[in-house]
Amino acid sequence: MKLIFLGPPGAGKGTQAAGVSAHFRVPHISTGDMFRSAIKNETPVGIEAKRYLDAGELVPDSVVIDMVRERLAMDDCKSGYLLDGFPRTVDQAVALDGISEPDAVVEIEVRDEKLLDRLTGRRVCGKCQGTFHVSKLADAHTCPVCGGEVYQREDDRPETISTRLRAYHEQTEPLIGYYSGKDKLCRVNGDSRVEDVFKNILASLE
Ligand code: AMP
């Protein structure tokens, strides 16, 4: 199964992708996570990508496409993949069609007002990478799952969020037309409980 998760920042793509990739036994490939790890390890890609992530802007297509091409060539992608956060532009989608055409695209829809609350309240555990809303944490600095330290992503600060939402509407939303034209789009409402969104995603894929 070759899947793409499409949706604005804060729609819950990462959370849902973890469950859906386990369900279909395919690797969950998040380009955002790949960039964050490259930045942490100070690789050439990380050094180039950092300023774009800090500003909430998209990393240039050529950099992302090369990174994804290399990742999809790995053995674990032979049975398929779930791409979370890629493609984000029509040029990236066209490039992906040339590398490995997806079977289906899940678009998770959430209103901008809701996204703002989710993103400003999002906290990530530095140890297990779990994500939580700050309002649900008994202790704002401690992961309720593994006890690790939780932090706010640099690009989840209010000044960067509006740039990210604008990038989504201007550069990524055209992909909805691109994939519905190919009859590959499944639209799912992301504004309900995590378990319900998960069920709806599986139902729409069937
Ligand atoms: P995410 O974790 O998916 O919200 O991605 C975090 C940041 O990584 C984005 O704001 C971009 O700067 C960068 N990024 C991730 N995926 C892509 C992509 N497909 N194209 C361009 N930039 C990306």
ω into 87 cis (within 30 of 0): yes
Is 48 inside a domain boundary? Answer: no
Q: Is the CB of 67 inside a 6 Å radius of any atom of ligand 1?
A: no
Domain containing 120 — which CATH number? 3.40.50.300
Kindly compute the dihedral angle of the four CA atoms of residues 67, 122, 170, 87, in this order, to the nearest 10 degrees.
30
164 is catalytic: yes
Residue 42, in any domain of the structure: no
User: Is 100 domain-assigned?
Assistant: yes
Instruction: Please work out whether the CB of residue 35 comes within 6 Å of at least one atom of ligand 1.
Output: yes
How big is the CA angle at 120 (ends 112 and 148), to the nearest 5 degrees? 135
The whole-number pLDDT of residue 85 equals: 96
Which residue among 13, 29, 31, 51 has the greatest number of ligand 1 atoms within 8 angstroms of its CB, and so is best to mutate?
A: 31
Structural domain includes residue 59: no
- The domain containing residue 139 runs over which residues? 2-26+79-205
The reply to whether 54 falls in a domain is no
The strand pairing partners of 170, in sequence order, are none
Q: What is the model's pLDDT at position 14? A: 92
List the chain pLDDT tens, one digit each, 206 residues: 999 999 999 999 999 999 999 999 999 999 999 999 999 999 999 999 999 999 999 999 999 999 999 999 999 999 999 999 999 999 999 999 999 999 999 999 999 889 999 999 999 999 998 899 999 999 999 999 999 999 999 899 988 999 999 999 999 999 999 999 999 999 999 999 999 999 999 999 98
Cβ atoms 56, 155 nearer than 8 A? yes
Domain count, the chain: 1
What is the token pair recorded at 137? 């944490």
| pTM for this entry | 0.92
Query: Does residue 159 belong to any structural domain of this protein?
Result: yes
In a domain, residue 8? The reply is yes
Separation CA 114–CA 172 (nearest Å)? 19
Note whether residue 84 is domain-resident.
Answer: yes
* Contact indicator for 36, 91 with CB cutoff of 8 Å: no
Residues 6+ apart with CB under 8 A from 148: 125, 126, 127, 128, 142
Cα–Cα distance between 43 and 29 in angstroms, integer? Answer: 18
**118 C-beta closer than 6 A to ligand 1:** no
Alpha carbon distance 8, 169 (integer Å): 8
In sequence order, what E strands does the chain have? 2-6, 28-30, 81-84, 104-109, 122-125, 131-133, 150-151, 185-189
